[in-house]
Structure 1
Amino acid sequence: MNWFEKLNEYFPVEEMKSKEHMELLLEEKSDVYYKDEGSEHVLMYAEFKEFIFIDYLYVAPSARGKGLGHQLIEKLKGKEKSIILEVEQVDYQDSDTSKRLNFYQREGFKHAKSIGYNRRSLATDQDSPLEILFWSPTNADEEKIYAQMHRMYEDIHTYKDEQLYGQSYQEAEEVLSFDQSRDVEDIFEGLKEKQ
C-alpha cells in the first residue's frame, strides 16, 4: 500500500485532499509542504516560519502504542514552533477519534476553544466541523493560532483548488471564526467524562 492509500483508508473522505493536490503541494510548495514516510507511518505537514501545521498523521495499526507517534511529534516540537492540527469531534461509536484525542492530550496539545472551523467538503457536499488543537513552546494565544490557521487554509487547503477539483473551497472567513466567548466544551474534558 502506498502512502496515499494508507491515508485514504484511515481518514474520512471529507477530510482528504486528492492525491493530485498533495503531490502538487509537495512539488510546487516543496519549501513548505513535506512528507515524512516510513514503513509504519505517513506524516504530511506544512512548515511555515512561525508554525507547523500537521495535515495528516498516520501510524500503522501494528505500530500503535509503541511510541512512534510520540517520536514524530517530538521531532516537530524540536523545531521550537507552534504546532496546529484539525481533529474530528469525538464520535463515541468510533474509538479511533477518542484514541487520537488521548494521544494529542498526552503530547501536551490544547483545544483552541475560541476558534470555530466548519468547511463544506467538496467530496461529500456536507459541512465538516472540526476542532483545532495546538501545542506552543511560547504559550501562543488562540488569536495568534487563529491567524496562523487562516494563513495555512489559504496557502495549503485551497491551493489551486479550482484547477484540481473544478470548484473552489469556501473563503477562509467563511470557514474560520474567532470568538473568545464561543460556548464550547473543551474537547479533552468531554473525553475524560466518557472514560
Structure 2
Amino acid sequence: MNWYEKLSEYFPIEEMKSQEHMELLLKEKADMYHKDEGPYHVLMYVETNDFLFIDYLYVSAKSRGKGIGHKLIEKLKKHGKPIILEVEPIDYEDTDSEKRLRFYKREGFKHAVSIGYRRRSLATNEVNEMEILYWSPTNESEESILEKMKKTYKEIHTYKDKELYGKSYQHVNEVLTIVKDKDENILEFNND
C-alpha cells in the first residue's frame, strides 16, 4: 500500500486532499511541504521560517504503542518552532479520535480554544469542524497561531484548488474565526 492509500484509508474523505494536490505540493512547494515516510508511518508537514504544521500523521495500528508517533513529534520539536495541527473533535463512537487527542496532550500540545475552524468539504459538501492544537517552545499566543493557520490554509489547503477540484474552497476568514462567548468576549485559553 502506498503512502497516499495509507492516509486515505485512515483519514475521513472530508479531511483528505487529493493525491494530485499532495503530489503537486511536494513538487511545487518542495521548500515548505514535506513527506516523512517509513514502513509504519506517514507524516506530511509544512515548514516555514517560523512554524511547522502537521498536515497528516499516520501510524499503522499494528505498530501503535511503540513510540513511533512520539519520535516523529520529537523530531519536529527539535526545529524549535511552534507546531500546529488540526484534529477532529472527540467522537465517542470513534475511539481513535479520543486516543489522538490524548496522544497530543501527552506530547505537550494545547487547544487553541479561541480559534474556530469550519470548512465545507469539496468532496462531500458537508461542513467539517476541526480543533486546532499547538505546541510552542516560546509560549506563542493564540492570535499568532491563528495567523499561522491562515497562512497554511491559503498556501497549502487551497493551493490551486479551482484547478484541482473544479471549484474553490471558502475564503480563509469564513473558515478560521475567533470564537466568542454569548457576550461577544473572545474565549481565553486555559492551560488546565
Asked whether the 8 Å contact 1:158–1:168 carries over to 2, the reply is yes
Distance of 2:12 and 2:50 partners within structure 1: 29
TM-superposition CA deviations, 1:57-111 (whole Å, max 9, x none) = 0001111011000000000000000000000010001000000001000000000
Q: 1:130 and 2:130 equivalent?
A: yes
Residue 192 of structure 1 is matched in structure 2 by none
Asked whether the 8 Å contact 1:111–1:132 carries over to 2, the reply is yes
Q: 1:141 and 2:150 equivalent?
A: no
How many residue pairs match? The answer is 188
TM-superposition CA deviations, 1:106-142 (whole Å, max 9, x none) = 0000000000000000000010010100000001010
How big is the shift at 1:183? 5.7
Residue identity (%): 62
Distance of 1:37 and 1:146 partners within structure 2: 28
Moved over 2 A (4+): 179-186
Distance of 1:44 and 1:13 partners within structure 2: 16
Matches within 5 A, 1:74-153: 74-153=74-153
Distance of 1:184 and 1:10 partners within structure 2: 33
Distance of 1:139 and 1:185 partners within structure 2: 12
Asked whether the 8 Å contact 2:87–2:132 carries over to 1, the reply is yes
Asked whether the 8 Å contact 2:112–2:189 carries over to 1, the reply is no
Q: Could you list the runs of 5+ residues in structure 2 that have no partner in the other structure?
A: none
Residue 73 of structure 1 is matched in structure 2 by 73
Distance of 2:28 and 2:112 partners within structure 1: 30
Q: Could you list the runs of 5+ residues in structure 1 that have no partner in the other structure?
A: 190-195
How big is the shift at 1:179? 3.7
Name the Cα RMSD after superposition.
1.6
